[in-house]
């Protein structure tokens, strides 16, 4: 009997893994058999999530505090994962923030912060792990981008730019490391039920649902399911792909 999507013996690092989409991804990968590094700036929440994962799945999970925008911190995160588990097979670059606003009112620091975390953060973490993956001739990197990076979104020039940049980063890195048995893909969520979208105005939620053929917001588990496939052996010949999980919003 085939063990479909099994990650037994694999080690996964999930940034922004303490809550929301990141937590759902970490939980799903653990249920598929992976040991988990829950990496987040909020170490207390990350510790709580790691403990919960271990209790619910029986898989080992640890929490590591990280600032993905800082290359030294990103390297320390990977070093800790290797020290704890001996290897890193999977990196999910999920950490991200928004600082929305019209460009004529957007502060320079809000532009810089979003680009540094959403785009430079993925660079820092990928650079920190890539040498180890190349040595073992195996690796899976999944970047969480957004439909805003595919189609653009008014009031989000910083966020849309960071997520569009992440798409280019995904495709370029996939070409660099494919010969070493490493795949690099991205998942582009649409509107997903998280703490972030819970605070959106009712009229904006209604408008988003009208634009979505499936007629609803997605759930964090919908993103986690896509990631679980892309990091599995079943997806070993898929790389450089941008998988939209948006209920058909930008068909």
What CA dihedral angle connects 162, 165, 169 and 172, to 10 degrees? Answer: 180
For residue 58, how many other CB atoms are within 10 A of its CB?
A: 10
Residues 188 and 245: beta-carbon distance below 8 Å: yes
* Integer Cα distance of 158 and 148 in angstroms: 10
Active site residues: 159
* Integer Cα distance of 58 and 165 in angstroms: 37
* Integer Cα distance of 184 and 171 in angstroms: 7
- The separation between CA 118 and the C-alpha centre of its own chain, rounded to angstroms, equals 10
* Integer Cα distance of 72 and 189 in angstroms: 29
Q: 3-class DSSP state for residue 186?
A: strand
* Integer Cα distance of 185 and 196 in angstroms: 24
């Amino acid at each position: 009997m085939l063990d479909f999507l099994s990650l037994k013996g694999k080690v996964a690092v999930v940034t922004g893994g303490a809550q929301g989409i990141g937590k759902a991804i970490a939980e799903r990968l653990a249920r598929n058999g992976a040991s988990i590094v829950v990496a987040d700036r909020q170490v207390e929440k990350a510790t709580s999530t790691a403990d919960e994962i271990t209790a619910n799945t029986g898989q080992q999970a640890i929490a590591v505090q990280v600032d993905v925008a800082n290359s030294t911190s990103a390297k320390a995160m990977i070093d800790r994962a290797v020290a704890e588990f001996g290897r890193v097979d999977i990196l999910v670059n999920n950490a991200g923030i928004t600082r929305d606003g019209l460009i004529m009112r957007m502060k320079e620091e809000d532009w810089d912060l979003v680009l540094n975390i959403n785009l430079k953060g993925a660079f820092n973490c990928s650079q920190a792990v890539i040498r180890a993956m190349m040595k073992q001739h195996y690796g899976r990197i999944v970047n969480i981008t957004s439909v805003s990076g595919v189609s653009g979104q008014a009031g989000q020039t910083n966020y849309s730019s960071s997520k569009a940049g992440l798409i280019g980063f995904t495709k370029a890195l996939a070409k660099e490391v494919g010969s070493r048995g490493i795949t690099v893909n991205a998942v582009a969520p649409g509107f997903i039920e998280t703490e972030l979208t819970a605070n959106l105005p009712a009229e904006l939620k209604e408008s988003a649902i009208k634009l979505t053929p499936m007629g609803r917001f997605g759930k964090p588990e919908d993103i986690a399911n896509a990631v679980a496939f892309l990091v599995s052996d079943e997806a070993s010949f898929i790389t450089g792909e941008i998988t939209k999980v948006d209920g058909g919003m930008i068909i």
